C-alpha cells in the first residue's frame, strides 16, 4: 500500500521524466522528501531520476533536468512515479510500455503525475483501478480508457497504484505519504517549511469554484453558466436559458455584460469551442463528430467559429 511503513530505510522512489513533463509537478513530488530527511535527521527517502533515453530530459518550461539512469539500466523499482505533461500519447512506445509492465510484474508500486496516468493506462496498468489526471484531460481520458475508474480528485490511491492531477497536487500526495509512514507531526513540519498552510485531502476538487473563477457571487449568473455547461451538445436558446433561471432575456443579457463583459450567446459559444478544442487535441474523434458533440449544426459552422476564436481551422490546430 502507498502509505505502509517501508521495510527498510531509506525508501527509494524513482521518477521517470518524460519529455515536456511538468517541472512544478515534479518539484512538488521531490521537495517534501528532502524536507522529511532534513527535519527528521534521518535518511527516510532516497530518489533517482530516470529517462527513456539520454542524460537530460527537457520540461515543458524548456528547463532540462539531468537523470541518473535510463530505463535500460533499471531492472527493478520499489516505487515509480511517471511524470508527464504535454502530448503523453507521443510517449507511448513499445520499449516504455514493455518496461512498465515488467516493473509491475516485479511488484513495483506504480504512480503517475499529471498526464502520466495516460501512460500507465495505455500500458494496461490502470485497468479496474481508480485514477485521476489533470482536469483538462479528464473527459478524454475517461472516454479513451473506459476500463479505468476515473475520478476528479487531486490525488488518488488505489491499492498498489497512485496518481495525482498535476501542479501542486503532488505536494498534497507526498505529505499524505509522509504522514502515513512517519506521522502527522513530521508532515505538518514539512508543510510549514514549504509555507503550505492549507493542506488538501485527496477528495479536494481540482478546479476553483465557479464563484472564484468568475469573481462574482451573483447566483443567477452562476446558475445560468452551470446550465450552459450541462447542455453543450444540445445548446439551449437564450430565451430558454433565461426561463431556466427565472429571469427575462434582457436581465440575463444585463448580468453577462455587467459581470463578464460579454453576451450570453458569446459566452455559451466559447464554452462549446473550449470543449471542442480539448476533444480535438486529446482524442482521435473526427472533426465532424466533435462539432456535433459540442452543439454545432454543421462542420462548416464549427470550422468558421473555431477559426474566428483560435485563428486556425480545427484540422490545422490538431496537426500543430
Asked if residue 35 belongs to a domain, the reply is: yes
Rounded Cα distance, 305 and 320, in Å: 18
What was the pLDDT predicted at 25? 95
Torsion of CA 174, 175, 176, 182, to 10 degrees: 110
**One domain for residues 104 and 182:** yes
* Residue at 204 is within a domain: no
- Interatomic CA distance for residues 59 and 62, integer angstroms: 5
Question: For 202-227, what is each residue's pLDDT tens digit?
Answer: 888 887 777 777 778 888 998 999 99
**C-alpha 214 chain-centroid distance:** 21
Same domain membership, residue 313 and residue 217: yes
Task: For residue 4, tell me if it sits in a domain.
Answer: no
Q: Is the pLDDT of residue 26 over 70?
A: yes
Determine, yes or no, domain membership for 60. yes
pTM of the model: 0.81
Same domain for 228 and 189: no
Question: What is the average pLDDT value for the chain, to the nearest integer?
Answer: 92
**For 10-16, what is the mean pLDDT?**
95
pLDDT band at 1 (very low <50, low <70, confident <90, very high): low
- For 72-90, the pLDDT digits (tens) are 999 999 999 999 998 898 8
What are the CB-based long-range contacts (under 8 Å, 24+) for 253-262? 255/218, 255/220, 255/221, 255/224, 256/221, 256/224, 259/214, 259/215, 259/216, 259/218, 259/221, 260/214, 260/221
173 lies in the same domain as 240: no
Measured over the CA atoms of residue 297, residue 298, residue 303 and residue 304, the dihedral's sign is: negative
How many Å apart are CA 162 and CA 131, to the nearest integer?
7
CA-closest candidate to residue 256, choices 244, 247, 269, 265: 265
Q: Say if 173 falls within a structural domain.
A: yes
Q: How many whole angstroms separate alpha carbon 217 and alpha carbon 114?
A: 31
| Mean pLDDT confidence for 19-38 | 96
pLDDT score of 143 more than 70: yes
Q: State which of 193, 228, 249 marks the end of a domain.
A: 193
Q: Which domain holds residue 188?
A: 11-193
Residues 277 and 311 grouped into a single domain: yes
For residue 285, what is the domain's CATH number? Answer: 1.10.10.60
272-303 pLDDT, tens digit each: 999 888 888 877 788 898 899 899 988 889 98
CATH code, 49: 3.40.50.880
- 68 with 154, same domain: the answer is yes
> What's the average model confidence in pLDDT over 123-146?
93
pLDDT (0 to 100) of residue 35: 97
Q: What is the pLDDT of residue 186?
A: 96
Q: Is there a single domain that holds both residue 181 and residue 68?
A: yes
Question: Is the pLDDT higher at 263 or at 140?
Answer: 263
What three-state secondary structure class fits 56?
A: strand
**95 lies in the same domain as 157:** yes
Question: Are residues 144 and 283 part of one domain?
Answer: no
107 three-state secondary structure: coil
Q: What is the mean pLDDT of residues 62-69?
A: 95
Residues 114 and 35 in one domain: yes
The whole-number pLDDT of residue 298 equals 87
Within-domain flag for 67? yes
Q: What is the pLDDT, as a whole number, of residue 50?
A: 97
Residue 146, classed as helix, strand or coil, is coil
pLDDT at site 63: 95
Is residue 18 located within the same domain as residue 102?
Answer: yes
Can you tell me the mean pLDDT for 38-46?
Answer: 96
Record the cell numbers describing residue 302, joined without a space: 464549427
Residues paired with 12 in a beta bridge: 46
Q: What does the pLDDT read at residue 320? A: 66
Cβ(32)–Cβ(175) below 8 Å: yes
Inside any domain, residue 2: no
| pLDDT surpassing 90 at residue 188 | yes
Q: Tell me, yes or no, whether 295 lies in a domain.
A: yes
**How many domains in the chain?**
2
Are 242 and 267 within one domain?
yes
Rounded Cα–Cα distance for residues 269 and 232 (Å) = 9
Amino acid at each position: 500500500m502507498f502509505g505502509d511503513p517501508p521495510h527498510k530505510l531509506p525508501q527509494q522512489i524513482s521518477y521517470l521524466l518524460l519529455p515536456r513533463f511538468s517541472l512544478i509537478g515534479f518539484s512538488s513530488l521531490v521537495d517534501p522528501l528532502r524536507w522529511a530527511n532534513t527535519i527528521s535527521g534521518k535518511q527516510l527517502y532516497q530518489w533517482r531520476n530516470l529517462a527513456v533515453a539520454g542524460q537530460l530530459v527537457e520540461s515543458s518550461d524548456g528547463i532540462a533536468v539531468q537523470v541518473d539512469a535510463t530505463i535500460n539500466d533499471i531492472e527493478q523499482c520499489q516505487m515509480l512515479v511517471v511524470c508527464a505533461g504535454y502530448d503523453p500519447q507521443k510517449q507511448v512506445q513499445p520499449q516504455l510500455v514493455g518496461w512498465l509492465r515488467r516493473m509491475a510484474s516485479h511488484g513495483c508500486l506504480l504512480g503517475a503525475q499529471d498526464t502520466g496516468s495516460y501512460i500507465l493506462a495505455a500500458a494496461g496498468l490502470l485497468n479496474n483501478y481508480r485514477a485521476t489526471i489533470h482536469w483538462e484531460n479528464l473527459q478524454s481520458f475517461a472516454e479513451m480508457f473506459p476500463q479505468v475508474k476515473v475520478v476528479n480528485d487531486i490525488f488518488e490511491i488505489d491499492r498498489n497504484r497512485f496518481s495525482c492531477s498535476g501542479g501542486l497536487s503532488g505536494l498534497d500526495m507526498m505529505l499524505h505519504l509522509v504522514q502515513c509512514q512517519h506521522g502527522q507531526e513530521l508532515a505538518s513540519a514539512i508543510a510549514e517549511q514549504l509555507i503550505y498552510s492549507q493542506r488538501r485531502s485527496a477528495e479536494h476538487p481540482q478546479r476553483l469554484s465557479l464563484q472564484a473563477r468568475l469573481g462574482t457571487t451573483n447566483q443567477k449568473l452562476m446558475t445560468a453558466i452551470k446550465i450552459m455547461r450541462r447542455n453543450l451538445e444540445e445548446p439551449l436558446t437564450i430565451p430558454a436559458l433565461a426561463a431556466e433561471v427565472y429571469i427575462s432575456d434582457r436581465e440575463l443579457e444585463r448580468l453577462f455584460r455587467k459581470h463578464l463583459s460579454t453576451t450570453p450567446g458569446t459566452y455559451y459559444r466559447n464554452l462549446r469551442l473550449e470543449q471542442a478544442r480539448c476533444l480535438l487535441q486529446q482524442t482521435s474523434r473526427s472533426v465532424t463528430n466533435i462539432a456535433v458533440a459540442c452543439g454545432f449544426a454543421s462542420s462548416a459552422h464549427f470550422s468558421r467559429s473555431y477559426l474566428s476564436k483560435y485563428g486556425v481551422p480545427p484540422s490545422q490546430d490538431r496537426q500543430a
